[in-house]
Amino acid sequence: MEGHHFTIGRVAVSRDRKFIASGDDGGEIITWNRHGKALTIPIKVHSVVNLLDFSPDGTLLASGLMDTTVEFWNTKTWQVQGNTIITKIAHPRPNNT
């Protein structure tokens, strides 16, 4: 899988294994199908991507950013769905990365 220009810090796989998402330290998210074909051009977000996770039904991708924001991406359109959530704390990476 190619496309990132910075270190990849997060990877998530949907439960049905239909989608893979990767986020990097430069603030880009790229989504892939199970065969490694990019489904999107890099999506530029405004901070380092620290957390990625798909909803149980695979219709949303949540991204937690270092700047304390959370966004939900519609997996059909790859557009932000709803409003950005601003949390009170940063979203640090778990110690296992």
How far, in Å, CA of 82 to CA of 97, rounded?
A: 29
Whose CA is closest to 58, among 30, 21, 10?
21
Q: pLDDT digit string (tens) for 45-87?
A: 988 898 999 999 999 999 998 888 999 999 999 999 988 888 7
Tell me: domain 8-86, CATH 2.40.10.480, correct?
yes
Global confidence as pTM = 0.82
Of the candidates 63, 66, 61, the one whose C-alpha atom is nearest the C-alpha of residue 47 is 66
Q: Model confidence over 8-58: pLDDT tens digits?
A: 989 999 999 999 999 999 999 999 999 988 888 888 898 889 899 999 999
For the segment 84-92, the average pLDDT, to the nearest whole number, is: 70
Q: Whole-angstrom Cα distance, residue 10 to residue 24? A: 7
Q: What pLDDT, on the 0 to 100 scale, is given for residue 93? A: 57
pLDDT for the residue 61: 96
